[in-house]
Amino acid sequence: MTTAAPVDWAETKESAVRSYCRTWPVVFDRASGSWLYDEEGHAYLDFFCGAGALNYGHNNPLLKNPLAEYLASDRVVHSLDMYTVAKRDFLNTFDQVILQPRELDYRVQFPGPGGANAVEAALKIARKVTGRTGIISFTNGFHGMTLGALSVTGNAFHRRGAGVPLPFTTPMPFDQALGGQTPDFLWLERLLGDRGSGLDHPAAVIVETVQGEGGINVASAGWLQGLAALCRRHGMLLIVDDIQMGCGRTGPFFSFEHAALRPDLVCLSKSIGGYGLPLALTLIRPDLDVWQPGEHNGTFRGLNLAFVAGAAALRAYWGDDQLERATRAHGDRVAAALAALATSVRGTAVSARGRGLAQGLVFGNGDLAGKVCAAAFERGLLVETAGSAGQVVKLLPALTITDAELDQGLAHLADAVHAVC
Ligand SMILES: Cc1ncc(COP(=O)(O)O)c(C=O)c1O
């Protein structure tokens, strides 16, 4: 991480917890598509994209225009979970454009504004339905900062921040965590099958198909299918946290489509609000929707502006497979460039991995990766680190990025890598 330049009003007024502003110590002002501009007019190519909340780029006019019109005509902005025209349109569009074509049947819960709210609701409903408490999570998983979400998150630094024990969860190795030395799920299967193992029968398993914050760790389709089969065999619910990898980040709308999974519960947030607006969904298999009215609530569930932008995004980008195909093609372009970059580095081991437009460049340690991000920033490119030691430079360009912008960003990154290594 670079040291933050003195910004008096932030240093004296904003909590020490602030972090991205320390990595990119300028004052941002305008933004358009894949570009952010600081108040002095310097341009930055954004390969961070609001940590995945800006899949359609900044201030996308296809979303901005309906939003501006909605605001200008005094339509309802805040409504908790009351019925509104905007909510009806969002739910109908989500059903028609996303769920029905994929033959997926889910009830939609609006659990609160952010991803962690969607995770909390999924964990609660899994426990309520099964009457069990235990949740299986995976090494290097990331699910958010609230206590329930932290209890299934791997990162020691973030877990320590809880200040209390984080019980009722059991971590298991993610795909390839043991380097392929043992058959998938050997240990978990052994624990579940042995009544003397000490593992109480879990309510559910929570998994990311590609771990974003964990360092772009990609689970294979076979591993995911094996996990789904294990859940079925042992009566555990399967929760897919698609908060960062959903909404097209890996290509298809849901990141689990390539593995033909049908999770019992799905968590979505980040880019579902279309414009970077807060919105989270917990998708619930209909027979599991056993909530009592109001049993899980919250003041900010369903910001109508997010419904408007979210519905506009679904209509604009998911009525056909153009965006999905473009993301796959762009993903292949980035993967090839990163692989070439990795082999061009001498003297230190660098490798590349990813799926779709979630790609990572893996360094031997967090110090190197942090220096690369700082050098990229000096060249006008925003990329952040991920992984347990911050050892992965994570690339999340907008799905709407052009080939020329992609190549420009990759050139900045290559420059930064060669300057540092
Ligand atoms: C996979 C995943 N789950 C949950 C969250 C938490 O979302 P939020 O920060 O909106 O609470 C994140 C955030 O990065 C995430 O990547």
Is the CB of residue 398 less than 8 Å from the CB of residue 49?
yes
Q: Is the CB of 241 under 6 A from ligand 1?
A: yes
Q: Which of 129, 128, 114, 126 is nearest to 137 (CA)?
A: 126
Could you tell me how many helices (H) and strands (E) the chain has, helices first?
14, 17
Ligand 1 centroid – CA 105 distance (Å) = 24
Q: Is the CB of 115 under 6 A from ligand 1?
A: yes
Tokens of 200: 């109480």
* C-alpha to C-alpha distance for 25 and 35, rounded to whole angstroms: 17
Is the CB of residue 135 less than 8 Å from the CB of residue 206?
yes
Burial class (CB in 10 A: 0-12, 13-18, 19+), 100: exposed
Q: Which of 348, 249, 255, 284 is nearest to 49 (CA)?
A: 249
Closest CA to ligand 1's atom 3: 143
Closest CA to ligand 1's atom 13: 144
Closest CA to ligand 1's atom 8: 115
DSSP strands (E only) in 273-376: 281-284, 351-355, 358-362
List residues bridging with 268 in a β-sheet.
Answer: 281
Q: Is the CB of 217 under 6 A from ligand 1?
A: no
Q: What is the pLDDT of residue 9?
A: 82
Ligand 1 centroid – CA 98 distance (Å) = 21
Per residue in 193-242, pLDDT tens?
999 999 999 999 999 999 999 999 999 999 999 999 999 999 999 999 99
Chain centroid to CA 306: 17
Q: Is the CB of 138 under 6 A from ligand 1?
A: no
How confident is residue 1, by pLDDT bands cut at 50, 70 and 90? very low
Q: Is the CB of 284 under 6 A from ligand 1?
A: no
Per residue in 119-151, pLDDT tens?
999 999 999 999 999 999 999 999 999 999 999
Is the CB of residue 310 less than 8 Å from the CB of residue 344?
no
Ligand 1 centroid – CA 76 distance (Å) = 27
Residues whose CB is less than 8 angstroms from the CB of residue 4 and which lie 6 or more positions away in sequence, other chains included: 11, 21, 22, 25
Q: Which of 21, 19, 37 is nearest to 29 (CA)?
A: 37
Q: Three-state DSSP class for 378? A: helix
> Is 3's pLDDT higher than 50?
no
Phi, psi angle pair for 393, to nearest 5°:
-85, 120
Per residue in 308-351, pLDDT tens?
999 999 999 999 999 999 999 999 999 999 999 999 999 899 99
Average pLDDT, the chain: 96
Ligand 1 atom showing the smallest separation from residue 146 Cα: 11
Q: Is the CB of 143 under 6 A from ligand 1?
A: yes
Ligand 1 atom showing the smallest separation from residue 51 Cα: 14
Q: Is the CB of 46 under 6 A from ligand 1?
A: no
Ligand 1 atom showing the smallest separation from residue 278 Cα: 10
